[in-house]
C-alpha cells in the first residue's frame, strides 16, 4: 500500500512539473507593451495625487499668508 501511494505521489509530482515547464515565452513587444501600460497608469495616478496635494497645500498656505497680511494691516491701523 505504501508503494502504491508513493508511486502515485511521484507520478503526480512529475505531471505537475511537466505542465509547468510547457509555458510559452511572451513576445518581447507584448512584454514591453504591458510594462508601458502599467507605467502609464502609475504615472497618471501619481500625477493626479500630486496635483491634488499641491492644490490643497496652496489653498492652506495662501489662506495662512492672507490671514497674516490681514493681521499685519489691522495691527498697523490700530497703531495709527
22-67 residue pLDDT tens? 556 778 898 899 999 999 999 999 999 999 999 999 888 888 888 8
Q: Looking at the domain assignment, is residue 41 inside a domain?
A: yes
> And the C-alpha cell for 20?
509547468
**Euclidean distance between CA atoms 38 and 25, whole angstroms:** 20
Q: Looking at the domain assignment, is residue 43 inside a domain?
A: yes
Average pLDDT over residues 1-27: 74
**How many domains in the chain?**
1
Question: What residue numbers bound the domain in which 54 lies?
Answer: 24-79
pTM of the full structure: 0.49
> And the C-alpha cell for 70?
490681514
Q: Looking at the domain assignment, is residue 63 inside a domain?
A: yes
7 HSE (CA, 13 A, CB side): 4
Q: Looking at the domain assignment, is residue 14 inside a domain?
A: no
Residues in Cβ contact with 58 at an 8 Å cutoff, skipping those fewer than 6 apart: none
Classify residue 22 by its DSSP letter.
T
Amino acid at each position: 500500500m505504501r508503494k502504491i501511494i508513493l508511486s502515485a505521489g511521484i507520478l503526480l509530482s512529475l505531471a505537475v512539473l511537466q505542465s509547468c515547464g510547457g509555458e510559452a515565452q511572451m513576445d518581447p513587444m507584448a512584454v514591453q507593451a504591458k510594462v508601458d501600460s502599467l507605467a502609464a497608469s502609475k504615472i497618471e495616478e501619481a500625477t493626479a495625487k500630486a496635483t491634488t496635494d499641491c492644490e490643497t497645500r496652496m489653498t492652506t498656505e495662501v489662506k495662512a499668508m492672507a490671514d497674516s497680511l490681514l493681521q499685519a494691516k489691522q495691527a498697523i491701523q490700530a497703531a495709527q
